[in-house]
Every structure is written in structure tokens, then in C-alpha cells.
Amino acid sequence: MNSKLFRRFIPLQRSCFFKSLHRFPIFNNGLEISYNYRCLHTSQRCFADRIIPKNAKSGSSFEWLKRQLNDPYVKKARYENYRARSAFKLIEIDDKYKILKPGGTMIDCGASPGAWTQVMVKRCYPQGDPKNKNGTLIIAIDISGIAPIEGAAVIPNTDFTNPLNQAKIITLLRDRKVDTVCSDMAPKASGQAELDQPGIIKLFLSALQFSIQVLKPETGNFLGKLWEGNRTKELCMLMENLFENVNIVKPPSSRCDSSELFILGTKFKGIKYG
């Protein structure tokens, strides 16, 4: 076999000898995506370095599909039964900052398709408490649809920025104070920063303003999504007036070529009147 062909595969064990090489097409949602190679007479399985879509309809869909098929977090999300790769962003943030409280009250704004809510349910319900005696409450809301998630109160097809809908959440809380509010809300991106920035800032401020009303003083946390821009520093300064600790966070699972970042405020100072 031509030695150049072997360079296309992940490094193989030197002791592995092949009598023949078979080629099998792989399909994903009806799209043919490159090939999987199996080496006969061994247990060794060889894969091409990257999976390349064969029949995507346009250049942009080709690039998106190629990225999805080769994204380790997409594969990991399927394996661990999360609805989206974004689950690992919250997991990584919580591993470092411990913002999800077992037995606590959490709100997930912009929850669709529900990956962050799944993480909240998994981390906030104490083990050995199937009847939820500790009173964990998780509320998920999104302007799009969200399939039901066991352990969470899901509010689909609802605009969080509408004050009437925020009042519904407060009713669900029944005078509880909230441990953590997370906002992964973002508008549909046009690709032009001057158009996209105002939209995501508006959503960020809406979630922050709501958080001020419901967070527990001294221990409450707020996590909000932004796209990096010239107002990031200004928003951090605003957060510093409200929280003891403020951090700009870009978790490892956030794509390197994305301008996405999160501002995390911990230990809510509370609002003093008079």
C-alpha cells in the first residue's frame, strides 16, 4: 500500500499488519460524510483525521456540518445524553466557581434546548433525595420551545424580557430568593458586530435587572452571556457595583473562533434603599 495513504490515519500500532482494507460510508441525517476504515484480521480500527461532509447544499452548511461532526464536545454531549454541547460550558464554569447549589433555587434564561437545565438538575438535586425534601427548584424559560425536563419547571415559547412573563417566574418562586440566575440568551447573529452587540447587551441587562429583584443577598450569583465588544468593560464595572466578585469567563468548551464570553458575578451585595 502507498505509504502516503497511511498519513491520513491516526497513528497506528507498528505491530499491526493488514491483509486488506475495507471502506464503509457513514451517514448522518441522510448526508454522506466521508468514510470509516476497518482493518481486517486485527482489532485495530483506523479513522480518517477528520470527517468531511460530501453533499452539503452550500458552503456555509458544509463548514457548519464539518465543524459539528469533528467537534469532540458534540460527540461527548451525545454520549452523556445532553441536548447540546453548551452543557459543558456550564459544567466547566461550575467546576471552577461552584455556582450551582445542591438543594438551591436556579433560573435558566434562554434555556432552549435545555442542556444547561439538564446540568442544573443533575448537580442541584441532592443524591438520595428522590422526594426533593430539600426543596430544590429549577426554572427554565425560553422564547423557543423546550421539551420537558424531569426535575425542572419549564416555560417554553415565552419571552423572558416581557415584564409580565418575569412576574410569572416570581409567582413560581413563592417568595423564595434565588441562588443563581444564568442567562445564555442571545439574538440571532447577523455576523455584523455593530448590529449584534446592542441585541445581546439588551438581553444581558434584562436578565441582570431581574436578578437584582430575586437573588439572595450575600450568596446569590449571576452568569450572563455576551459577545466581546467595546462595552464589555463598562458592563463589568456595572456588575462590580452589585457583586463582591466579578470575572470574565471563557470556558474551554467555548469555541476559540467565537467572540462569546460570560460575565460572572458572585456574592450579590443586595440593594439598600433609603
What band does 273 get if pLDDT is binned at 50, 70 and 90? low
Q: At what angle do helices 193-214 and 232-240 cross, to 10 degrees?
A: 10
For 233, phi and psi rounded to 5 degrees?
-65, -40
> Which residues are 264's β-sheet partners?
223, 247
pLDDT at 194 exceeding the cut of 50? yes
Type of residue at 3: S
User: By C-alpha distance, which of 270, 268, 96, 103 is closest to 181?
Assistant: 268
Query: What mean pLDDT comes out for the span 38-43?
Result: 38
pLDDT of residue 61: 56
pLDDT band at residue 195 using 50, 70 and 90 as cut-offs: confident
Angle at 92 (CA atoms; ends 165, 96), nearest 5 degrees: 100
Beta-sheet strand order (sheet of 105-109): 153-155, 137-141, 105-109, 180-183, 221-227, 260-268, 243-249
Question: What is the SS3 string spanning 12-29?
Answer: CCCCCCCCCEEEEEEEEC
**Residue among 133, 225, 233, 272 flagged as catalytic:** 225
- Sorted by where each starts, the structural domains of the chain and their CATH numbers stand as 3-70 (no CATH), 83-268 (3.40.50.150)
Q: Are residues 227 and 220 in contact, defined by beta-carbon separation less than 8 angstroms?
A: no
Task: Give residue 65's pLDDT band: very low, low, confident or very high (50, 70, 90).
Answer: low
What distances in angstroms separate CA 189 from CA 32, 125, 141, 194, 234, one per listed residue? 28, 35, 20, 11, 22
* Tens digit of each residue's pLDDT (9 = 90 or more) over 219-264: 999 999 999 999 999 999 999 999 999 999 999 999 888 899 999 9
The pLDDT of residue 140? 98
* pLDDT for position 44: 40
Residues 139-184 pLDDT 10s: 999 999 999 999 999 999 999 999 999 999 999 999 999 999 999 9
61-85 core/surface letters (b: 16 or more CB in 10 A; e: else):
ebeebbeebeeebeeebeeeebbbb
pLDDT reading at 11 higher than 80: no
> Tens digit of pLDDT for each residue in 42-63?
334 333 344 455 554 555 555 6
Q: Rg of the Cα trace of the chain?
A: 23
Please state, in angstroms and rounded to a whole number, the distance separating the CA atoms of residues 215 and 229.
Answer: 27
- Identify which has the larger pLDDT, 232 or 271: 232
pLDDT at 116 over 90: yes
pLDDT at 146: 97
The residue with cell 480518517 is: 48
Indicate the pLDDT class of residue 66, thresholds 50, 70 and 90: low
Average pLDDT over the chain reads: 81
Position 256 scores a pLDDT of 84
Share above pLDDT 90 across residues of the chain, in percent, rounded to a whole number: 62
Q: State the pLDDT at residue 135.
A: 85
CA angle 152, 158, 161 (to 5 degrees): 105
Q: How far from 75 is each of 29, 80, 83, 86, 92, CA to CA, in Å? A: 15, 9, 11, 12, 17
Q: Decide if pLDDT at 127 tops 70.
A: yes
Confidence of residue 274 (pLDDT cuts 50, 70, 90): low
Instruction: Look at 214 and 273; give whichever has higher pLDDT.
Output: 214
Provide the greatest CA pair distance for the chain.
Answer: 84
Q: Is 89 a catalytic residue?
A: no
Whether residue 130 has a cis bond before it, omega within 30° of 0: no
Site of grid cell 434603599: 273
